[in-house]
Amino acid sequence: MLAIVRSPIALWAGFVLAHLWLGMLALYAPGQPIGDVTSVYKFWIVDYAFEGHGWVGIDTVWVYPILAIVPMIAAAALGPDLYASTWLSLVMLVDAIAFAVTLTIGRRYGSTHAGWWWLGFLVALGPVAVGRIDSITVPLALLGMLVVVTRPALGGVLLTVAAWTKVWPAALVAAVVVALRDRGQVIIGAAATTATVLAVALALGAGGNVFSFISQQADRGLQIESVVATPWMWDATLGSGHSRVYYDTAILTFQLRGDGVQDAAAVATPLLALVALALLGLGVLATRRGRSPGEVLPPLVLALTVAMIIFNKVGSPQFVTWLAVPVVFGLMTAASGVGRSFRVPAVLGIAIAALTHAFYPYFYYLLLGVPQLSMVMVLTARNLLYVALFAWAVVALVDVVRRPRDEAEDLSEGDAALDWMNARR
């Protein structure tokens, strides 16, 4: 049985079946699981840009960084009628590349559990795992994290490309700059990629629109699924009349109105910045105390990723997909013999995905209008697990800082010591 589980044939069969299942749900399940792709992305490209009305992010302001337009254009390659299926094929292709690298590294240690975990996580989360722009950034960011220790410049490029597609991988760039000794190569790769993106965008006439995603996000309200919104969702559910759900036609999301909502939304982003700086500060301290990248990076990347979800006024269901990057990365480092076990984050990640799938997309309507108690309870349980996962990551990171330096893991022997993925070969 163990031989079958470790078999590449079984793993790739599982990969194909998982993506076919998710694709079927995305196309045919109730609740418009792939509605963002078919209604929003397709409109921006096929109905707006291709019809001569201008390009989002270039001719107009846009909610996403400029590289997000690339996969949206690619999805139109086979025509508007096949836009959704082409998108799903593109996601499957990018996932396959990241999956292949994950399996290649895992085979060095006779471990395949990170690959199986990722497949289980995708299935547990459901169609939103393949139906958003995050479905492109997650495998890109995972590739970047898997190669950054041994090829820092390439890792910096991949992570920066992901960040110019959706902002959140920028936190991963900061983490690797803090934890790696060869951070200069990461910075060079990130800077060169950013300069190229800006040069091309400005040459196309984007001007200030290339940075419009910053101001567009700043204007958003408190989205109903966010962790920060939980008290107001309960207020709206219990019928006090102080809080209610409404649809923002500019941002195209369901948000909240109520006493203190605007204040919470205004505080969320500065609080996120402070938390991120504190976490990076712990990472710096751990590195200065001689801890290896394999010890520092997994809890640091996990803490930063979850912080960007918890202290975020948006909190869309697709944000769950981000967890795949730190958890797979953490499982791989543990398999290599470096760092602590990542079993707890793996279990919590699956539970968070399953609880998200329990209300989105099929029963999402029960959170609208006057939210139904049962769905708010599911949402609250999911959000509490986010907090538990963040607490685990912070405790793990603090533990790395506080533990005495192990002279056997002294990094003074040179850059070869950074190849922690090969340390136990």
pLDDT in tens, 148-189: 989 999 999 999 999 999 999 999 999 999 999 899 999 999
Give the number of other CB atoms < 10 A from CB of residue 344. Answer: 15
Q: For residue 414, what pLDDT is reported?
A: 33
- Angstrom distance (rounded) from CA 203 to CA 52: 19
Q: Are 356 and 362 in contact (CB under 8 A)?
A: no
Is residue 256 one of the residues assigned to a domain? yes
Q: What is the pLDDT along the chain (425 residues), one digit of tens a residue?
A: 666 777 889 999 999 999 999 999 999 999 999 999 999 999 999 999 999 999 999 999 999 999 999 999 999 999 999 999 999 999 999 999 999 999 999 888 878 899 999 999 999 999 999 999 999 999 999 999 999 989 999 999 999 999 999 999 999 999 999 999 899 999 999 999 999 999 999 999 999 999 999 887 776 889 999 999 999 999 999 977 789 999 888 777 899 999 999 999 999 999 999 999 999 999 999 999 989 999 999 999 999 999 999 999 988 999 999 999 999 999 999 998 888 899 999 999 999 999 999 999 999 999 998 999 999 999 999 999 999 999 999 999 999 999 876 543 443 333 333 354 544 33
**Residue 49 resides in a domain:** no
pLDDT score recorded for residue 420: 43
Cis ω before 231 (30° cut-off from 0): no
- Whether residue 92 is contained in a domain is answered as no
Q: Is residue 263 part of a domain?
A: yes
Residue-number span of the structural domain to which 378 is assigned: 2-32+97-182+213-406
Position 80 in a domain: no
Strand 253-257 to 244-248 pairing: antiparallel
Query: In this predicted structure, what is the pLDDT of residue 239?
Result: 77
Q: Give the number of other Cβ atoms within 10 Å of residue 251's Cβ.
A: 16
Q: How many domains does the chain divide into?
A: 1
Whether 72 maps to a domain, the answer reads no
Task: Tell me the DSSP string of 326-348.
Answer: HHHHHHHHHHTT-S---HHHHHH
Amino acid 419: pLDDT:
52
Q: Which two tokens stand for residue 67?
A: 């590289």
Show the tokens assigned to 38.
Answer: 């078919």
Closest CA to 93 of 136, 42, 43: 136
Question: Is residue 66 a part of any domain in this protein?
Answer: no
For residue 126, tell me if it sits in a domain: yes
Average pLDDT of the residues of the chain: 91
- SS3 assignment, position 250: coil
Q: Which residue has the tokens 């993106």?
A: 197
At residue 248, the 3 state secondary structure works out as strand
pLDDT tens by residue, 105-118: 988 887 889 999 99
pTM over 0.85: yes
